Amino acid sequence: MENNLVVQSNDLILATYTMQKTDKELMLACISQIDSRPDAPNVTQDTEYKVTVDDIKSLFFGKKSKNEQNVYRDIENASKRLYDVDIVMSLPENKTLQTRLVSSIVYDPDNGEVVLSFANKILPYLTQLKANFTKYKLLEIGELSSIHSIKMYELVVMWVNQYQYSKEFTIEEFKHVMCVKDKYKQFSELRRYVIETAINDINENTNYKVSVEYQKKARGKGYKGLKLKFHKKLLDKIAGKDGKLSEDKIKSIVDNVQFMNDYNDHPGLSYDGKMSTDSFKREMINIIQREPESFNKPNKALESYLPKVSQGK
């Protein structure tokens, strides 16, 4: 688990399943051991992934101390629950896949470890991925406190990689994508235990900032939907006083002639982006939002290209 890189097909991220936070952590600890590159060695349901008590403590407990015996008990129980997990995934042509996640488990209490193998039907969504996938470092979700926070974080990373920086849902659509379709009948419970908990958790403990706007019903009380907005925290310096990222500010940066002169050699630009002003501006709008950390030339931070009168507004 040297790199701790989690790579999953977006179809798997959008799949529905029910699991607890510890189950998800164990699942991700195994996934992070898979080489998902297209030319990686073949993986089968006999390929095994070992997770130890020390792995779980270092990845998910941080500075918190926890008895090793209790940690092993937790990962053993999580393994048993994972063995019973159903993954339900939408397929083309109106088909649906239902599959187990795990095909086998070996318990080793004496050495404080479990060894898992993934089910055959799930492997195409974890191995030899060429496109339509999302990746993040496992340590990025190490401080998140709930399964809903981890799920929302994965979705946010996926959407940003797809050049989407906001998403609008009906209440039922949101419950489906968050795998809580049959839970939280009252909106107040959904808002408190899922939406607000996940957003606050992500904002406090990850490299992303998320905000929400609730949409009220046209008549009567209650809400019909919500809109999530999200961006990397590195972009906070060009966000408004309300903490939200304005597309107008990003456009004003890419329209700045000095910005073009300074970053026309950016490695994220295509050949057309380096040759054409219009292509440069179009591509840079997305590169800024996806990879703000890449604009790191001395004295050439993104906020330095904002018109002086616009800063802080």
For residue 312, what pLDDT band results from cuts at 50, 70 and 90?
Answer: very low
Mean pLDDT of 112-130: 97
Long-range contacts of 265-272 (CB under 8 A, 24+ apart): 266/294, 266/295, 267/294, 268/294
Residue 128 Ramachandran class (φ > 0 left, ψ -120 to 50 alpha, else beta): left
Q: How far is CA 141 from the centre of its chain?
A: 9
**The dihedral of CA 13, 180, 204, 2: what is its sign?**
negative
- Quick: pLDDT tens for 142-175: 999 999 999 999 999 999 999 999 999 999 999 9
Question: For 272, how many CA atoms within 13 A lie in the half-sphere containing its CB?
Answer: 5
pLDDT of residue 242: 79
Neighbour order of strands in the sheet with 208-216: 166-170, 223-232, 208-216
Residue 144's identity, in one-letter code, is L
Residues 118, 100: Cα–Cα separation, whole Å = 8
- Contact of 285 with 251, CB cutoff 8 Å: yes
DSSP run (H or E) holding 199: helix 197-205
For every residue of 101-147, DSSP letters joined together read: SEEEEEEETTTTEEEEEE-GGGGGGTSS--SSEEEEEGGGGTT--SH
pLDDT of residue 107: 97
pTM, whole model, 2 decimals?
0.91
Least confident of 76-80, 234-238, 262-266: 234-238
Q: Which domains are present in the chain?
A: 5-142 (1.10.10.10), 152-231 (1.10.10.10), 246-310 (no CATH)
Residue 37 Ramachandran class (φ > 0 left, ψ -120 to 50 alpha, else beta): beta
The first and second tokens of residue 170, run together, are: 């009906």
